[in-house]
Structure 1
Amino acid sequence: MSFAALGISKPFIKALDELKIINPSPIQEQSIPFLLSKGTDFIAQAPTGTGKTAAYGLPLLEKINAGSPKVQALILTPTRELGQQVAKQLFKFTKYSDKIFTEAVYGGAKIEAQIAALKRPTQIIVATPGRLVDLLQKDAVDLSHVKYVVLDEADEMLSMGFKKELTRILKHTTGRTNTWLFSATMPPDIKTIIKNYLAPDAFRVTIGADRLNKKITHQYTITMAEDKLDTLVKFLKDMGEERGMIFCRTKVAARTLAKQLKAKNLSTDAIHGDLLQKERDKIMRAFKNESLQFLIATDIAARGIDVKDLAFAAHYELPDQVEYYIHRSGRTARAGNKGLSLIFITKDELKHVNELQEKLQVGIDKVVV
């Protein structure tokens, strides 16, 4: 199957070829023809890293009237990083097409500058829910011509506490827009949003109903509590030049682990909720441009991060929820690559690994590091 066969026009295919995106992924194959042709709501359940941005972004770009300066589409994302990434991707897709202007707006940046930017012709707004509500309160954005609303990583938006903002925005747009919802998981809150704000006949697509990317190898290693740090250090050194993320449950644990690994001369830093936005941006830039080899993160701080070619996700502390394990593991094995998800536990935590295996229907093999 090719993008041309799915109905994508030549200018976009030329840009895709340049980006070396040649063969559509399963989510793109199932979403694009429907989104191009039908005028109804759409629900896709697919793991992160499966090509969702192109799955909704290409049909959206095909439907935008480039001759009108009005805002015609709204894409909501859980984090600033994901919003910036989506806007950048859409810009790359439009290299050879009519000029379509996308503006990303998010918290942690000066709202005045974003208000000024929105006064220019803008056909697509990519926004975090909190900042969009701020802009609506200031009458700084006109959504009256919006025909399409995309909820990207909807489960992450809810888990980050954006339920109130999301419902406010959807109340504002439902009834005169098509809503396209993309989510890795379907917790009860998402089902409520679907019931309240999407059409009963919304078209549904499910990719990887088992919820975990098949290209990820799942393993665990048992260590004494006092040996855990040394076991992690050995694993990281054995990885050679491979890059990855290390997950902790709390901000304190992430901060402490970063200090410990830096003391062992490992190229690492941590992101967590206590960082200022500019500090977080600096660390993320360093990780993306590969001057940092390893990134330590808490579950909330890791939301929306997408970094290419990560070889592993290491769980230095077990996650609080099964959904967090899915999101953590999904940071690796992206875009068709293979990856490793490795859990570091003490003997009395083995029952939690068994629970994960049972709930996710996945084999997690014991290894010695």
Structure 2
Amino acid sequence: MAENFKSLGVRADLIQGLDGLGIQTPTPVQSAAIPFLINEGSDLIAQAQTGTGKTAAFGVPLLMKVDPAVDKIQGLIIAPTRELAKQIGKELFRFTKFCDPKIFVEVAAGGDKIEEQIQRLSRPTPILVATPGRLMDLLKAGLQLDGVRYLVLDEADEMLSMGFQQELSAIFKATPNRQATWLFSATFQKRVQGLIADHMSGNAHRVQVEPKQIVNRNIDHQFAICAREEKDAFIINYLKAQGSARGLIFCRTRAGAIRMGEELEKAGLSVGVIQGDLSQRDRDKVMRAFKKERVQFLIATDVAARGIDVEGLSFVIQHQLPDAIQYYTHRSGRTARAGKTGVSLTLIEPSERGQITKLEQSLGLNFSLVE
């Protein structure tokens, strides 16, 4: 693995931007993808979960490839949710802090006024980050993508599971002059394989980060055994013992998240709930309250939590085990960001003890039991 970003070929002004964010040692996906994307820049298929540093893995090479003097969108990044699109936009903006000339990045997602987005895109914008639905609206309003040379699909599996297959096909059609597609996905089900077969080079470069490499070593993984009916009381006691520490509680279903929110409020705890049925406006309101620390704890479902990037979370609680291993790394990766430490606590029923052993083996982790 590369020692630093200079040895990967990253430009000095971008290294300075990364350094200012405390990003000094490349993650496995960055070490594997960045030199290839800078030097070759052709089609790339990368398997990487959230929390592995993939935004820098595609974002830094993209910032080096675009020309701020050209008045066209040259890099197009597609993300499944508004939160993730905004998070990517914010990270790219931070990476470019020391770039001269400045490289402008715009974000176009639902929930914001399209007229304002159209106006902002009339300025030279080398990189656009967009959600599939809003990009379709902009194309109908006359947005031109003929200058796009690099198309990045982030969380491709998530976009397909959300039903964006037609939109993605339309985006490929709307970018006829692209030189390369860079696809990042946590899983490769049939639909993702189909997308790759239809739209990407047969000899695309492949990068796979082993599950054991992607786990953040600053997270203390814990589990507690309790019957289903005891979980609420356990969580309430745990949260009350946290002082001013802030954290996220994951529930598997929307109904479960809403019910848990009601229980915690009854216990006098400061809590917000984010789940798929919320309107964009309500969702933004909850997220704003959490980010501004007006709410101490946030309850979320897996899909609703995509793109949640809040600094300084001390712990994550998983009300029950997730359906898939990648969701475990996605959930636990919400804590211990930017070099800090954090706790990931999973509540299991007595019959699920074997699942913890499975997670330990497949991810190379050690879980400790909390009594």
TM-score by length of 1: 0.89
CA distance in structure 2 between the partners assigned to 1:338 and 1:183 by the alignment: 26
User: Which of 213, 237, 240 lines up with 1:237 in the alignment?
Assistant: 240
User: In structure 2, what is the equivalent of residue 285 of structure 1?
Assistant: 288
CA distance in structure 1 between the partners assigned to 2:12 and 2:216 by the alignment: 32
CA distance in structure 2 between the partners assigned to 1:16 and 1:351 by the alignment: 41
CA contact (8 A) 1:7 1:36 kept: yes
Q: Deviations over 1:31-89 (max 9, x none)?
A: 22111111411122223212211221111111111111111110011111111121122
Find out whether 1:221 has 2:224 as its counterpart.
Answer: yes
Shift of 1:339: 3.8
User: In structure 1, what is the equivalent of residue 193 of structure 2?
Assistant: 191
Find out whether 1:298 has 2:301 as its counterpart.
Answer: yes
Shift of 1:104: 0.4
CA distance in structure 1 between the partners assigned to 2:259 and 2:247 by the alignment: 18
Partner amino acid, structure 1, of 2:49: P
Which SS does the other structure have where 2:7 is aligned? helix
Cα-Cα RMSD: 2.5
Q: Deviations over 1:193-214 (max 9, x none)?
A: 2222221221122223347515
Partner amino acid, structure 2, of 1:75: I
User: Which of 55, 59, 64 lines up with 1:53 in the alignment?
Assistant: 55
CA contact (8 A) 2:52 2:214 kept: no
Q: Percent identity?
A: 49
CA distance in structure 2 between the partners assigned to 1:186 and 1:338 by the alignment: 31
Q: Deviations over 1:301-334 (max 9, x none)?
A: 1122222333332121343444433432332344
User: In structure 2, what is the equivalent of residue 268 of structure 1?
Assistant: 271
Which SS does the other structure have where 2:259 is aligned? helix
User: In structure 2, what is the equivalent of residue 155 of structure 1?
Assistant: 157
CA contact (8 A) 2:38 2:65 kept: yes
CA contact (8 A) 1:185 1:211 kept: no
CA distance in structure 2 between the partners assigned to 1:23 and 1:212 by the alignment: 14
CA contact (8 A) 1:47 1:211 kept: no
User: Which of 339, 343, 346 lines up with 1:343 in the alignment?
Assistant: 346
User: In structure 2, what is the equivalent of residue 126 of structure 1?
Assistant: 129
Equivalent residues, number: 367
Q: Deviations over 1:17-38 (max 9, x none)?
A: 3333233333222222111111
Partner amino acid, structure 2, of 1:281: D
CA distance in structure 2 between the partners assigned to 1:363 and 1:91 by the alignment: 34
User: In structure 2, what is the equivalent of residue 170 of structure 1?
Assistant: 172
**Per the alignment, do residues 19 and 318 of structure 1 end up closer, same or farther by CA in structure 2, a change over 3 Å counting?**
closer
CA contact (8 A) 1:270 1:297 kept: yes
Greater Cα offset, 167-176 or 103-112:
167-176
Q: Deviations over 1:329-367 (max 9, x none)?
A: 33234445444332223335x278369549946667473
CA contact (8 A) 2:231 2:347 kept: yes
User: In structure 2, what is the equivalent of residue 108 of structure 1?
Assistant: 111
CA distance in structure 2 between the partners assigned to 1:241 and 1:163 by the alignment: 43
Find out whether 1:247 has 2:229 as its counterpart.
Answer: no
CA contact (8 A) 1:160 1:300 kept: no
Shift of 1:124: 0.9
Which SS does the other structure have where 2:6 is aligned? helix
CA distance in structure 2 between the partners assigned to 1:206 and 1:266 by the alignment: 42
CA distance in structure 1 between the partners assigned to 2:146 and 2:206 by the alignment: 27
CA distance in structure 2 between the partners assigned to 1:190 and 1:217 by the alignment: 33
Find out whether 1:11 has 2:13 as its counterpart.
Answer: yes
Greater Cα offset, 29-38 or 202-211:
202-211
CA distance in structure 2 between the partners assigned to 1:189 and 1:219 by the alignment: 34
CA distance in structure 1 between the partners assigned to 2:252 and 2:20 by the alignment: 40
CA distance in structure 1 between the partners assigned to 2:160 and 2:337 by the alignment: 23
CA distance in structure 1 between the partners assigned to 2:82 and 2:324 by the alignment: 24
Which SS does the other structure have where 1:169 is aligned? helix
5+ residue gaps, structure 2, are none
User: In structure 1, what is the equivalent of residue 72 of structure 2?
Assistant: 70
CA contact (8 A) 2:51 2:330 kept: no
**Per the alignment, do residues 318 and 189 of structure 1 end up closer, same or farther by CA in structure 2, a change over 3 Å counting?**
same
TM-score by length of 2: 0.89
Shift of 1:242: 3.0
